[in-house]
Structure 1
Amino acid sequence: MPAAVFPQSEYETRVERTKAKLRERDLDAIVLSDPANMNYIAGYDGWSFYVHQAVVVTRDHPEPVWVGRDMDKNGARATTWLSEPNMRAYSDDHVHSPYDLHPMDFLADVLGDLEVADGRIAVEMDAAYFTAKSYTRLGSKLPDAELVDADLLVNWIRVRKSDREIEYMREAAKISESAMLAGLDAIEPGVPEYEVAAEIYDRLIRGTDEYGGDYPAIVPLMPSGDHTGTPHLTWSDREFAEGDPVLIELSGCRHRYHSPLARTAFVGDAPDAVERTAEIVVEGIDAALDAVEPGVTCERVEKAWRETIAQYGVEKEDRIGYSMGLGYPPDWGEHTASIRPGDETVLEEGMTFHMIPGLWEDEFGVELSETFAVTSTGAETLAEFPRRLFSA
């Protein structure tokens, strides 16, 4: 199954790049608990991140080692490129255990088998699924080890995408286009918000005529009416009414790769203030995309946006984009480079970003976004969807 997603040689290249980083930082091993990093290195893909799991990479062991729940081992067999000895499963009595057992106890034994129990081991301290108890328990079981923060080691390796990764993101963009069109078409007075969400989800999963979609790392975000100044709300039983602004942010997903897309609609005729704000956002996005090319910094791209909107007396303090691609709930972002003042990350060919420079006022918000890849000649926007305010 993983060979259908990426050839084994691509996974092996990722592992070698990770091992090189371990040597640079004088680390003996890294324990990956971020599901996206586990997938990136080993190919593992399952909804099992609600229990503790990991992929371990050491400087000397030839393959990564998957560590997870016994009932998920068949999932590792189905989705990873790893050989059988490198899939290690703990028994179910480690899950919510009444016997003072914990998956980190088992992981500690695996690290001992890999001869790194007394080494410098990086753990993903800020990953969503690596808990405080995991850290303290693993440390207690490895008294001779030095546990250090992995500091987004693999996340930064993921920043530059291969051609196949970007192709999956292009496919995700086609799904995003279809889902956005379905959502916009479904909005009209008297229709409950959840009905629009249902239409969006239908397209996200059905995908295109050529391929299906996967569940996205973030659910469709759909604040409307008075709530469009708050970008991260979802949907409710509320019915759309004449005069409502509506924000839709969503993403298609293909082999866990995303291509987010956001647009704003207005139920009925939009007031001049909303129309004008949308025009400013579009002009700013155009300027920022035009600034993208290899060798330019993230902050320089943001500056093009900021200088454009400043002509109209508008300021925005938040970042306007971030590196993203492969992801699991709760996020499709990579937590690395951001398009913001002060971020001196230099753009390279193969990087991918979600640019989402919304303007949120007290009474309404306008949100448009594009996912783009950095190419040798500039920015390639992955979706082909009109960049404007929509009327419902």
Structure 2
Amino acid sequence: MTSGPSAAGVVQGGESAFPKSEYDGRIAQARQRLDAAGIDVMIITGPENIFYLTGQQTPGYYTFQALVLPVDGDPVFVIRQLEYFNFISNTFISDAAVYTDGDEPVTFLTGLIEAKGYANRRIAIDKRGWFLPIAVYEALQAKLGTVHDGARIIEGLRAVKSPAEVAKIELAAGYVDAGLNAGLAAVKVGASENDIVAAMMQAAIAAGSEYMGMEPLTSVGRRTGVPHGTWRRNVIADGEPAFLEMAACHDRYHAALMRSAWIGAVPTVAEEMEKACQDALAASLDAIRPGEPCSAAHLACQAVIDKAGFTENFRKRTGYSIGISFAPDWGEGGILSLYTGVDTPLEPGMVFHIPPALRIYGQFTVGVSETIVVTETGWRALGTIPRPLARIAA
């Protein structure tokens, strides 16, 4: 083991999300995929893929970290010294290469690769991850020559969740239920967006949630008509909508949920849009069956929205894979989307967030969602909150 600081008092794997056997199995599967792709060594930098293979998790992933995974030989984790004890607590990896803040991380990494005898091997990296700066990639190329594309090798393993992973997502879904129930209860005349989000976050965290991959997307009044708008102290009045969407997290596994509310009289067009969202969600869920392509759920959803006359109000995918996430997102949309042209067959154990929403930009948004797991015969919702628009008396 490359020497790090003394780990006295820190138990190897003591805070790991899964037992060692789970990670051993994942690394074995990853090696099979690397071998099939003709890759000798994979440099893995994405925090989601690192977590999947090792259990390492830290909010400090903004500094360089990498798992060097050879097809033959032990994996080595390249990590900043400050993160070393986090690494010990979360993983069962026996070999850490620890760099200091005075080291240049890419030079440190390439020195390790040369020392291990990997420099002339076929090396790949997860090019499409969130956290691989162009400068790092170019520096690796300059020092190592051709660096091949290892994108989707690990992601392909993450697409289908094990029963143990689904159990963690179910726990996260329970935390979301707590948060959304509290948020809906906070919607009343005179309440601010901050009041609603504070209720949501407090309840979800009190229920057990860890830090989420993205903040709640919650707004009131005309601001709900801005996609991905979130709280800015605005106050809700009679006759106005509230839009609530949030995720929660258990051991980095996420679930999400979207609900809408309206105080007082609901405009006719909003009623029509809300009904279209409900029907579109139901149609997309009816299309979720093992063996069907991911696109089927989107086409079913889109057909309902088109028939209702709201095509121009819905210009997005129907859903996306959800599971392991770090900021800036709570989803795994880079793994699978429910969208036109995505022909990957659905399999039991895949988990999706499906959030049909319709809006008149700058006026209002209505929407509804479920986080579901694909089963042997169809799907199962992980949340319990009723789907209809919450109608709140002024």
Superposition TM-score tier, normalisation by shorter sequence: over 0.9
Alignment correspondent of 2:317: 319
Question: What is the aligned residue count?
Answer: 376
Alignment correspondent of 2:376: 376
Alignment correspondent of 1:342: 341
**Worse-superposed segment, 154-163 or 239-248:** 239-248
Alignment correspondent of 1:79: 90
Residue pair 1:42, 1:66 contacting (<8 A) in 2 also? no
Confirm whether residue 291 of structure 1 aligns to residue 290 of structure 2: no
**Relative to structure 1, is the Cα distance of residues 34 and 278 closer, same or farther in structure 2, using a 3 angstrom cutoff?**
same
Offset of residue 312 of structure 1: 1.9
Alignment correspondent of 1:65: 76
* SS of residue matched to 1:23: helix
Alignment correspondent of 2:7: none
Confirm whether residue 92 of structure 1 aligns to residue 101 of structure 2: yes
Deviations 1:287-342 (A, max 9, x none): 11111111001111112212223332232331110112111001132212111111
Matching of residues 263-302 of structure 1 within 5 Å: 263-302=259-298
Confirm whether residue 248 of structure 1 aligns to residue 259 of structure 2: no
Residue pair 1:119, 1:146 contacting (<8 A) in 2 also? no
Tell me the distance in 1 between the aligned counterparts of 2:68 and 2:316: 36
Tell me the distance in 1 between the aligned counterparts of 2:202 and 2:44: 33
Tell me the distance in 1 between the aligned counterparts of 2:343 and 2:52: 25
Residue pair 2:16, 2:55 contacting (<8 A) in 1 also? no
TM-score, length-scaled by structure 2: 0.92
Tell me the distance in 2 between the aligned counterparts of 1:9 and 1:2: 14
Which among 12, 18, 37 is matched to residue 6 of structure 1? 18
Matching of residues 101-112 of structure 1 within 5 Å: 102-112=104-114
* SS of residue matched to 1:227: helix
Residue pair 2:17, 2:90 contacting (<8 A) in 1 also? no
Residue pair 1:354, 1:371 contacting (<8 A) in 2 also? yes
Residue pair 1:246, 1:266 contacting (<8 A) in 2 also? yes
Tell me the distance in 1 between the aligned counterparts of 2:167 and 2:340: 30
Offset of residue 76 of structure 1: 0.5
Tell me the distance in 1 between the aligned counterparts of 2:209 and 2:316: 31
Residue pair 1:263, 1:389 contacting (<8 A) in 2 also? yes
Deviations 1:12-57 (A, max 9, x none): 1111111111111111111111111111001101111121111121
Coordinate RMSD, CA, aligned = 1.5
Deviations 1:207-266 (A, max 9, x none): 2xxxx2101101101132222222211211221222222211101110010110001111
Aligned partner letter, 1:11: Y
Residue pair 1:118, 1:146 contacting (<8 A) in 2 also? no
**Worse-superposed segment, 344-353 or 128-137:** 128-137
Residue pair 1:2, 1:43 contacting (<8 A) in 2 also? no
**Relative to structure 1, is the Cα distance of residues 377 and 197 closer, same or farther in structure 2, using a 3 angstrom cutoff?**
same
Tell me the distance in 2 between the aligned counterparts of 1:353 and 1:290: 14
Offset of residue 2 of structure 1: 5.7
Residue pair 2:16, 2:90 contacting (<8 A) in 1 also? no
Tell me the distance in 2 between the aligned counterparts of 1:378 and 1:354: 15
* SS of residue matched to 2:388: coil
Alignment correspondent of 1:233: 229
Offset of residue 276 of structure 1: 2.0
Offset of residue 164 of structure 1: 0.5
Calculate percent identity across the aligned residue pairs. 32
Aligned partner letter, 2:214: I
Alignment correspondent of 1:162: 162
Aligned partner letter, 2:338: I
Matching of residues 36-51 of structure 1 within 5 Å: 36-51=48-63
* SS of residue matched to 2:102: helix
Deviations 1:112-163 (A, max 9, x none): 2332212222222222221111112222332xx4212222221121000000
* SS of residue matched to 1:260: strand
Residue pair 2:220, 2:235 contacting (<8 A) in 1 also? no
Matching of residues 154-193 of structure 1 within 5 Å: 154-193=154-193
Confirm whether residue 258 of structure 1 aligns to residue 254 of structure 2: yes
**Worse-superposed segment, 68-77 or 25-34:** 25-34
Residue pair 2:220, 2:240 contacting (<8 A) in 1 also? yes
Tell me the distance in 2 between the aligned counterparts of 1:110 and 1:203: 46
Tell me the distance in 2 between the aligned counterparts of 1:39 and 1:151: 16
Tell me the distance in 2 between the aligned counterparts of 1:177 and 1:376: 25
* SS of residue matched to 1:253: strand
Residue pair 1:204, 1:253 contacting (<8 A) in 2 also? no
